[in-house]
């Protein structure tokens, strides 16, 4: 269960507003993602994350979605969902590889903050839950997850990662990659509507 106190900060109605959106999405892994990005006081918004931590989080999150998409490709009942999952997994694996190259360019080592342990546990739980589903039930759960995931990831990049980044190449990468993440979200939402997923 998502608790608003996790998202409190001294200056931020944006943070509380986004927390309400995440809470309504009923996607605990997404709540863990946002919480781990910001910490209990919302400190990432204030620029506390360094570029190594930003890249560590970014690599982890892209790995999560690549794994989920690979599962979607393997277990989906629908050829349209399999095609979407193939596209998403390819893109996120490519972005993850680009993030490692960016680390070298920015002269930092990716470091995953310890707060990300909770997100990794949540991701494992999501994968276990999705793996237990079959047919159309899997497709519905997968699409719901992907809509919530991309919604939260887009906001995390826009509101926390990109503004906190100091390396110009990293900031430019975030600006360049956001349209692709937005495309994933739009394609997933369109497919969810087509398959009557609510």
Residue 43 belongs to a domain: no
pLDDT band at 114 (very low <50, low <70, confident <90, very high): confident
**For 19-62, what is each residue's pLDDT tens digit?**
343 334 434 444 444 554 454 444 444 448 999 999 999 999 99
Residue 101 belongs to a domain: yes
Residue 20 belongs to a domain: no
Share of the chain above pLDDT 70, in %: 76
DSSP for 114-166?
TTHHHHHHHHHHHHHHHHT--HHHHHHHHHHHHHHHHHHHHHHIIIIIHHH--
* Closest of 40, 87, 39, 34 to residue 65, by C-alpha: 87
Residue 158 belongs to a domain: yes
Residue 10 belongs to a domain: no
What is the CATH classification number for the domain harbouring 132?
A: 1.20.1260.10
Residue 119 belongs to a domain: yes
**For 86-112, what is each residue's pLDDT tens digit?**
999 999 999 999 999 999 999 999 999
Q: What is the mean pLDDT of the chain?
A: 81
Can you give the pLDDT at residue 115?
Answer: 85
Residue 21 belongs to a domain: no
Could you give the number of structural domains in the chain?
1
pLDDT band at 139 (very low <50, low <70, confident <90, very high): very high
Can you give the pLDDT at residue 48?
Answer: 81
Higher pLDDT, 43 or 181: 181
CB proximity list for 53: less than 8 A, separation 6 or greater: 111, 112, 113
175 CB neighbour count, 10 Å cutoff: 11
Residue 158: domain span: 50-194
């Amino acid at each position: 269960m998502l608790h608003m106190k996790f998202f409190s900060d001294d200056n931020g109605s944006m943070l509380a507003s986004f927390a309400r959106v995440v809470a309504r999405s009923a996607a605990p892994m997404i709540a863990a993602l946002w919480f781990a990005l910001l910490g209990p006081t919302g400190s990432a918004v204030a620029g506390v994350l360094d570029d190594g931590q930003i890249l560590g989080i970014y690599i982890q999150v892209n790995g999560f979605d690549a794994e989920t998409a690979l599962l979607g490709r393997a277990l989906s009942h629908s050829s349209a969902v399999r095609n979407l999952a193939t596209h998403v997994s390819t893109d996120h694996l490519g972005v993850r590889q680009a993030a490692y190259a960016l680390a070298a360019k920015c002269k930092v080592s990716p470091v995953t903050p310890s707060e990300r342990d909770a997100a990794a546990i949540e991701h494992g739980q999501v994968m276990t839950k999705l793996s237990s589903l079959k047919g159309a039930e899997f497709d519905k759960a997968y699409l719901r997850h992907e809509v919530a995931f991309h919604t939260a990831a887009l906001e995390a990049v826009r509101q926390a990662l990109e503004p906190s980044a100091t390396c110009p190449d990293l900031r430019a990468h975030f600006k360049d990659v956001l349209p692709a993440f937005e495309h994933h979200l739009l394609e997933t939402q369109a497919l969810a509507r087509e398959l009557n997923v609510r």
